[in-house]
Chains A and B, each alone.
Chain A
């Protein structure tokens, strides 16, 4: 069974340009997460979906970040316009439920470099 698939793996853009990341979770996993991981830091939650509903987006900078999960499966995270400080790894994860002890399966991440 394929794990969580993310693309692109790497993206280099100039500041003020838009960028989008795509995530395909594990089949049957209703809960999907987007995390931000800066160099040398642990992941920080950006948004959590239960099926197609964003149930926690309190940490998502809504002035430039947006996300969607149409049909409750794949998800896209967009940044427009990108800033230098957005350079980081964007991790997608999924789980079978939102219970705190649920296993999160992470994708390999999308590494963004903003020049």
Chain B
């Protein structure tokens, strides 16, 4: 079983602040995905990263895949209340179809 540890578990910040959340594992992943889940809804895919060292940007969100493909980070610039939600990372091992999810980081952005 490949475990994904996400940190911090909870994060409460003021609107306009920057933040970074982390997703770490001792295992190598062939791909890693980030999802955002709002209360009462299912997770929605934000990005997929597949190459070690890869950086992807989605407006104010920057995703990075570690060089060794064992960890990833999500950085949000100038957070807005609409960014509030549960951020989940999910990884798949080499040759595996199965995604393993972390427990998530619950982000609250206070206006």
Contacts and interface: CB of A to CB of B under 8 A. Distances in A.
Indicate whether A and B interact: yes
B42 A100 contact: no
A44 interface: yes
Given A100-B92, A101-B50, A43 B101 contact: yes
Given A91-B42, A108-B41, A109-B41, A44 B48 contact: no
Interface in B54-105: 88, 90, 92-93, 96-99, 101-104
B110 interface: no
Contacts of B93: 100
Interface residues of A, number: 22
A90 B38 CA distance: 15
A93 B98 contact: no
A107 B99 CA distance: 17
Contacts of B98: 45, 48, 56, 100
Interface residues of B, number: 25
Contacts of A96: none
A114 interface: no
Interface in A54-84: 56
A109 B97 contact: no
Contact of A42 (B41, B45, B96, B102): B102
B99 A100 contact: yes
B103 A101 contact: no
B101 A100 contact: no
Contacts of A43: 43, 88, 101
B103 A42 contact: yes
Contacts of B4: 42
A101 B92 contact: yes
A91 B37 CA distance: 12
B31 A44 contact: no
Interface of A: 4, 40-45, 48, 56, 91, 93, 98-101, 103-109
9 contacts: A40-B103, A42-B88, A100-B30, A100-B99, A101-B31, A103-B48, A104-B33, A106-B44, A109-B42
Given A101-B31, A101-B48, 18 more contacts: A40-B104, A41-B103, A41-B104, A42-B102, A43-B88, A43-B101, A44-B101, A45-B98, A45-B99, A100-B30, A100-B93, A101-B30, A101-B33, A101-B50, A101-B92, A106-B42, A106-B44, A108-B40
